[in-house]
Structures are given as structure tokens and as C-alpha cells.
Amino acid sequence: MENLPLDKEISQVKDPPYSRPFHYPSGGALPEKNCQGLACFVARQLNPERWQAASSQHPRVYCLGKCYMAPARNSWGDDSRVEVHARKAIVLERIAAGGIHSLEEYTMFGGYEVLKKALLLSPEQIMQLVEISGLRERGGGGYFVGKKWQAFFQQQHTEKAVVALTGDVAPGAGVDRFILEEDPHRLIEALLITGYAVGARKGYIELPSEYSQAHFALQKALNEAHQRGFLGCNLFGTDFSFKIELVLAPAGYICRERAARIDSIENLLLETKSLYPSPYHATLFDQSALFSSVETLANVPWIIQNGGVAYKTLGSSKSRGTKVICLNSLFRNPGLYEIEFGLSLRYIVENLGGGLKRGDLKGLIIGGPIAGIIPPDLIDTPFGFEELQAIGASIGHGGMVGFSAQTSIAALIQYVFAFAAYELCPGCTALCRSGIQRIEQIFGQILERGSATLQEQEEWSLFVSTLPNLTETCGLSTGLTEFTQSVLRYYKRELKTYFK
């Protein structure tokens, strides 16, 4: 990548093509796509024709960020419930009120004033506010953001960058898409504050190629911010300069893995690699790069404006602040909700979601499909990082997919392993690859015959016992381990009906 002066690089996005159709990197206009993500799979009976279209579509699309209207397609018009059920609205405040679609609107509500305030503070003071807040990464390992920033700040690289990652494409969520489309200046301001705090001069926003409307919104917002002097050189008369670049990411689960994301931004072959020694940073274009999710960054302006102590009063235990969750279309009240950590899953399922439209809850998958299943008798568990981990589940990016008895465990296993087999990357080990593909085949045959052969039962048992040892490189096998262990732990009785 050519290293241009800061002002020349930013001028390249001065006139974004708002009026043209969204394009893939290959140059083709984005066609209509149907989604076959987890939320769409469990809701396939709601619209069999759309599900059939999704199932026969190639290449497959596993998330459009519209789980609340599953089975979903990438139509531009949708009507989602967006509500705040927390003492303070942090991420969805403006989105729940209809969204902010121009810089003029954003500045009317105090936009970029927090950046001005941050520039009057030292980087150390900002990092201290974030550390006091207890903010943790939304998605991934739930790392404490203050510690991440401190570790990154102490790196001796002369060139540093901050990368905003969209986590929605791990099927089952949608919050990042809403932030990108309905409050894009918030993300820009958050990137600027983060860059100033950790000593970075460049930001990247990784944008899934499926998110056409978000592409328009971000290009427009970046152009507005540059024209008004909120992006570029010597911001507000200081010596702080910052630029932001949009990066279109190919579709695929692998593109949510950090090493592959770096490859994507650098236009290299996508594959997972050995896990980085540090969970806090990596190298990108010979720069030290800090990675953070869009939703995580969206919390930063509120913390700077209101203080770390005020933020820490929200939530509970080691999970502080709020989290946006997305309830899938099988709930009576599907949509996005901003909640405080500590609410019970039961309250979320029954009070916010209103229960399922048809039948009783059979299981709940959060941040799926490569995640543990939560059975109904565990939904009194509080919504928190450690609390969910204790029952073999995780926060992920907040997508909550509930399903009923209309989805059998055999069908769910076959779907999850079909997803995993499709998303295997070149770096996958031969044992993991062949095992995943074989389990997909076995459960496809079980669904046809109604039961497994003795040999198939032995192959299943061997693979699930081996799977925990295949988790050194990527999150796919780790998530499959969580999924299969939850099946064995909580749905053993139903599984036995196929293993006669």
C-alpha cells in the first residue's frame, strides 16, 4: 500500500459515490440475497419459499444482520423494534429515536463535542476513565478495554492504527449494522477519541460486503466529517491528526477471525494462523494495530462525557455497562434491545421477547451458531460474561436465537456442521476438515433414515472426543466444541433416540 501524506490520503474519499449502486470489490452490483444464517434456519417454517431460495443460493450468505425478520433477505426496507431497557441509553439512544443521518443532525445533539473535550485531556487521563468504567470488548474474549489500551499504548511502534471490526457476520446479531447505518458519526468520533488516547494516526472500518446501506452511510459521514474539519490534520488546532479508511471484507465466518481479517485488509489469501501471543494488538501494514468491535467503540464517547464511575454503576459483577442484544424472529417481540448486564435470561426471553410465537422454548443460542446451547432450565442465569461461561455459553455479539421443538437436535447438528464445513479455510487441519464434513454427512443421513448405524455412532463419538484437541488455531473448532458439549450435556435424551 502506497504511503501518501495524510492530507492526500483523506482527499481520496472527499467525493464518495453516494448515488451509485453498492459494488463488491470485483465491481459487480450487489444482487438480492437471501440469508441462511442460524436465525433464518430455525425460522424456516415462517417462509418456506424464502428459505428454499436461500438454501439453493450460491455463494451462501450466512448473515445480513436482520435476524429479527428471519428468514431474511437484503431488502433495503425493514421495520425493526429498537428499544432501550436500561437506566441509561448508551449505544441505542439516538438509534431508538429514529437515527442520525447527517452531520448537521449529529452536531445538534452534541456531536464531536466529546472529541473536543477528549483533546483537552491527556491520553493517560482518557485511558484511566475507560479502565475505571470496566468496559469490556463486546464479542470475542470480553477483554477489559482499559487494559487493552494501556498495553497498546506502551508499544514502541512509531506507526499505529485502530481497526473497527463489525462482528455481526458471525450469524445471529445486528447491532453493528444499525450503528453503521443509523449513527455513523458516533463510530467516527469514537475512533478519533480512541486513536488520540492510544497514539494512533489512522483508523480502519472493516465493512462486510453484504452491508450495502452501511457503505453509503459511512462514506457520506466520512465526507461530511472531512469537509467540516473533524477528520484530517491538526484537529481543533491541536497537533493530533487522524484519517479513516473503509475496507470491504469478503463474506465468510473466517473473516471474523483476527488473522484472516488482517489478510483481508492487506488483500492477502484468507486463512487462520497460530494465535497471536497478545490478545490486544497485531501488525497491519507494518503498523501496530488495535482491534475493537464497532459496538465496543460506540461506548467510548459516553464514558468520556459522563465519566468511568457513572458507566460502572450500570450492569453487575464483572460485566459493566449495557449490551445491545438482538432477539430473532421466533420471539413475539423480535428486535434490538439495549439492556444492562445482570438481567436474567428468563427476563429477556419472557418479558422483553414475550416468549416464542409458536411453542415453548427448546433452547437458546447466544452469539451462534458456533456456540453452546442453553436449555430452558438454565434461563434463570444472569446475562454476564462469567455467568454464561459457567454454563458453557458466551456473550458473543449479542444475537439471541431461540428455537422450539420444530427444530430437532439432529437437524440443528446437521445445520451447524454444514455451516462449519462450508466455512473451512485453507489453514484447517486434515483431521478437523474431514471430521466436520463427515459429521455433516452422518446427520444428513440420520434425518433421512430416522436413526444412525452403529458405525455412524462410533464415528460421532470418536470425533466429539477428539474435537477439544483441535482448537489451537481458530475459533471455529473452539465454538464447535462448545456446541457439541452442550448437545451431549443438555440434549442427551433426544440424541439417544437417533442412536438406537
Q: How do residues 39-69 score in pLDDT, each as one tens digit?
A: 999 999 999 999 999 999 888 888 888 889 9
CATH number of 321-403: 3.10.20.600
- Better-scored residue on pLDDT, 65 or 201: 201
Window from 106-110, 196-200, 209-213 with minimum mean pLDDT: 209-213
- Pairing between strand 202-208 and 81-85? unpaired
**pLDDT the model gives residue 23:** 28
Window from 111-125, 155-169, 197-211 with minimum mean pLDDT: 155-169
Q: What percent of the chain has pLDDT over 90?
A: 63
Give, in order, the Cα–Cα distances in Å from 149 to each of 55, 203, 248: 42, 15, 25
Residue 2 has pLDDT above 50, yes or no: no
Question: pLDDT digit string (tens) for 145-187?
Answer: 999 999 999 887 778 999 998 864 555 567 888 999 999 999 9
Q: What percent of the chain has pLDDT over 70?
A: 83
**pLDDT the model gives residue 283:** 57
Chain centre distance of CA 354 = 24
Categorize the per-residue pLDDT at 372 as very low, low, confident or very high, splitting at 50, 70 and 90: very high
Categorize the per-residue pLDDT at 6 as very low, low, confident or very high, splitting at 50, 70 and 90: very low
Question: pLDDT digit string (tens) for 288-325?
Answer: 889 899 999 999 999 999 999 999 999 999 999 999 99
Assess contact for 59 and 98: CB atoms under 8 A: no
Categorize the per-residue pLDDT at 326 as very low, low, confident or very high, splitting at 50, 70 and 90: very high
Query: What proportions of the chain, in percent to the nearest 5, are helix, strand and coil?
Result: 45, 15, 40
**pLDDT the model gives residue 7:** 33
C-alpha cell at 243: 484519517
Tell me the pTM: 0.87
User: Cα angle at 213 between 211 and 215, to 5 degrees?
Assistant: 70
Q: Which fold has domain 6-28+79-308?
A: Rossmann fold (3.40.50)
Residue 21 has pLDDT above 80, yes or no: no
Q: Give me the amino acid identity at 136.
A: R
Residue 470 has pLDDT above 80, yes or no: no
**pLDDT the model gives residue 365:** 95
**pLDDT the model gives residue 269:** 43
**pLDDT the model gives residue 28:** 39
Residue for grid cell 461530511: 224
Residue spans of beta strands (DSSP E) within 355-467: 363-366, 373-374, 399-403
Q: d(Cα 459, Cα 388) in Å, to the nearest integer? A: 30
Q: What's the whole-number mean pLDDT along residues 220-227?
A: 96
The total of other beta-carbon atoms located within 10 Å of residue 235's CB is 19
The total of other beta-carbon atoms located within 10 Å of residue 151's CB is 16
Mean pLDDT of the chain: 85
Q: At a CB cut-off of 8 Å and minimum separation 6, what does 429 contact?
A: 470, 473
Residue 473 has pLDDT above 80, yes or no: no
Q: What's the whole-number mean pLDDT along residues 189-209?
A: 93
Window from 278-292, 334-348, 359-373 with minimum mean pLDDT: 278-292
Question: pLDDT digit string (tens) for 252-268?
Answer: 555 455 555 555 565 54
Q: What's the whole-number mean pLDDT along residues 103-121?
A: 96
**pLDDT the model gives residue 320:** 97
**pLDDT the model gives residue 192:** 98
